[in-house]
Amino acid sequence: MEQTVVMTGASRGIGRTAARRLLAGRPQAHLVLLSRTVPQALVDELRAAGGSVTVIRADLSSLRSVSEAADEVVELVHPGRLPPIGALVCNAGVQLTNALTETVDGFEATFAVNVLANHVLLRRLQGHLPPSARVVVTVSDTHFGDLRHNLGMVPGPQWHPVETLARAAAFPDPSGSTAGRAAYSTSKLAAIYLVHEYARRLPTGFTITSFNPGFVPGTDLARDADAISRFAMRRVMPLLTLTPLATSPDRAGRFLADAVLGTVSAPTGAYVDRDRVAASSPASYDRQREREAWEAVEALTARFLPSVADPNPGRENR
């Protein structure tokens, strides 16, 4: 069956591999890539392999840009110019060297991109997803906060009310890289909380899962880090992919595509750890935090969400 797959974070790293594998596994699909920039070489490569690809500009650090990109998707799908949306892949993410960077909306940038942007995108497309749709949100096993999962490189989550996490300086010494990494692991815990809550709130038939690629050196996730850290991630840490401690970008991308294609059988709300369903951290199963996170994120992004009475939920309330 023809369908549209909407994806963020396909321009580099595991997303780039996943995009190729998605079209190989579902050649009748139309891939819509949402990104600030998508290399033309990637688009040419996908099309040369027979893929159908559309690029929509979206700056995930701007919630208005995200909402407008969602509207563009709706304007292509709703009149039938593209097939119905079969899958939404929220793969984009950032890890910064501080917890002080603010977006144009006044939110802390890590939380804005890793959590708020995904929420706006999903909520704006929700009314246009068929009951069989599959949503996959890329998270991270850094949310466990232990040596086994983060190799001592990323501090564990430091949970605060979402209203605090969404603003700059939520962590001690916010100008330092430790705070930036704590913001990252905490944002991924928040994303898992929301996946659990989405699973309860989305209509029956939807499948939404969180996907953990494992530790994947060799990608550009640390592109904003200091020079030594960037060198280690790109040149030294990839050696760990020869051990069970790390996953190569190619394997991680294939695992992500499999999660989207449904190759991995996972119930809604599940945590897919690379190529299998597993338990996320004990702290990630907290019904009160999940509900509170949902309510707070809804409030923070309210002006970019469709209203209950809006007959066309693909349009921003202005």
- Among 211, 160, 212, smallest CA distance to 186 is for 160
Q: Tens of pLDDT along 287-318?
A: 999 999 999 999 999 999 997 544 344 444 43
In angstroms, rounded to a whole number, what is the distance separating the alpha carbons of residues 141 and 243?
Answer: 17
Q: Which amino acid is at 81?
A: R
3-class DSSP assignment, residue 53? strand
Q: Is the pLDDT of residue 120 over 60?
A: yes
Give the strand order in the sheet containing 276-278.
Answer: 52-57, 30-35, 4-8, 85-90, 134-138, 207-212, 271-273, 276-278
Residue 174 binned pLDDT confidence (cut-offs 50, 70, 90): very high
Q: What is the mean pLDDT of the chain?
A: 89
Predicted confidence band at 248 (pLDDT cuts at 50, 70, 90)? confident
Predicted TM-score (pTM) of this structure: 0.89
Position of tokens 């990630």? 284
pLDDT in tens, 5-39: 999 999 988 999 999 999 999 999 999 999 999 99
Mean pLDDT of the region 94-98: 94
Q: Does the pLDDT value for residue 214 go beyond 80?
A: yes
Mean pLDDT of 227-249: 53
